[in-house]
């Protein structure tokens, strides 16, 4: 099942199911192009994982981590499928990063790897938009990672049975493939990430763990249309514009 939040033509926020025929809710089927697709979750936080692909660590000239590298994105970073994203003013290098997002299904703390999948509500697409100008000169990455609209997410939350263990992850810019990898290339898998994160903090329903990006990151330009596709989830699409 692929769950979607949307605003119907009357302006009401609905929770529907995205099918091959369209978005289904209340006995009706809506054309996705004719409704406002909202972020499929409203997280209290996004816990992001850095350097979770060996090829991305190599392209960045960094050593592989011996434990997950974690940082946070707050709720102000969330944007939805179809939103037009303004790039931060005055920054030369703002880059795309395609990622698989784990959506938490229940409040949890100190979860073991063996029980980790029990707290997964589903998976989604996420673009970890990154302002490299500031990220490269600051320690905590607030300016680099936590600016408004820096985490487009969606279009749906797909239940775990929909997303293969080796699900493909691809990013296209203006139709050209820039990133192409898979869930099976993670350094730290889903279960290991959940166990590590919940050893330090409580995760709430709707929170997102963004699992890292593969090689192929690159700079965004005015007017770029970026698609993040995760096998079993669908395609998140956004246009990026300079202010």
CATH number of the structural domain spanning residue 159: 3.90.850.10
What's 18's domain CATH number? Answer: 2.30.30
Using the predicted structure, report yes or no on whether residue 62 has a pLDDT greater than 90: no
Q: Above 90 in pLDDT, residue 79? A: yes
Which has the closest alpha carbon to 51: 33, 40, 63?
A: 63
pLDDT in tens, 203-225: 999 999 999 999 999 999 999 99
Chain mean pLDDT for the chain? 97
Same domain flag for 22 and 50: no
Q: Are 72 and 2 in the same domain?
A: no
Average pLDDT over residues 100-108: 98
Determine the length of the chain. Answer: 243
Q: Are residues 196 and 118 in the same domain?
A: yes
Same domain, 6 and 51: no
Q: Would you state the pLDDT for residue 43?
A: 98
Query: What are the distances in angstroms from CA 85 to CA 153, 201, 217, 243?
Result: 12, 30, 18, 10
Domain extent, residue 1, equals 1-38
Query: Which residues are CB-neighbours of 101 under 8 A, at least 6 positions away?
Result: 46, 123, 124, 125, 126, 153, 208, 209, 210, 211
Distance CA 198, CA 196 (A): 6
Burial class of residue 175 (count of CB atoms within 10 Å of its CB; 0-12, 13-18, 19+)? exposed
Q: How far apart are CA 170 and CA 100, in angstroms?
A: 10
Residues 17 and 66 in one domain: no
């Amino acid at each position: 099942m692929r769950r979607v939040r949307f605003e119907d033509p009357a302006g009401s926020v609905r929770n529907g199911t995205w099918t091959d025929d369209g978005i289904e809710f209340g006995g009706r089927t809506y054309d996705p192009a004719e409704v406002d697709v909202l972020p499929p979750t409203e997280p209290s936080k996004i816990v992001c994982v850095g350097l979770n692909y060996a090829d991305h660590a190599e392209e960045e000239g960094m050593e592989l981590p011996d434990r997950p590298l974690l940082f946070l994105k707050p709720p102000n970073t969330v944007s939805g499928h179809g939103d037009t994203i303004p790039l931060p003013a005055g920054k030369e290098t703002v880059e795309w990063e395609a990622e698989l997002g784990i959506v938490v299904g229940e409040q949890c703390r100190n979860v073991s790897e063996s029980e980790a999948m029990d707290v997964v509500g589903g998976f989604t697409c996420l673009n970890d938009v990154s302002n490299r100008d500031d990220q490269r000169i600051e320690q905590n990455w607030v300016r680099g990672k936590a600016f408004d609209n820096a985490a487009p997410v969606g279009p749906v939350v797909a239940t775990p049975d929909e997303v293969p263990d080796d699900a493909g992850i691809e990013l296209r810019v203006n139709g050209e493939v820039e990133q192409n990898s898979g869930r099976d290339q993670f350094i730290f898998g889903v279960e290991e990430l959940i166990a590590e994160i919940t050893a330090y903090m409580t995760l709430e329903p709707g929170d997102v763990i963004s699992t890292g990006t593969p090689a192929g990151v690159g700079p965004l330009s005015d007017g770029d249309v970026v698609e993040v596709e995760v096998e079993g989830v669908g395609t998140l699409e956004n246009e990026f514009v300079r202010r």
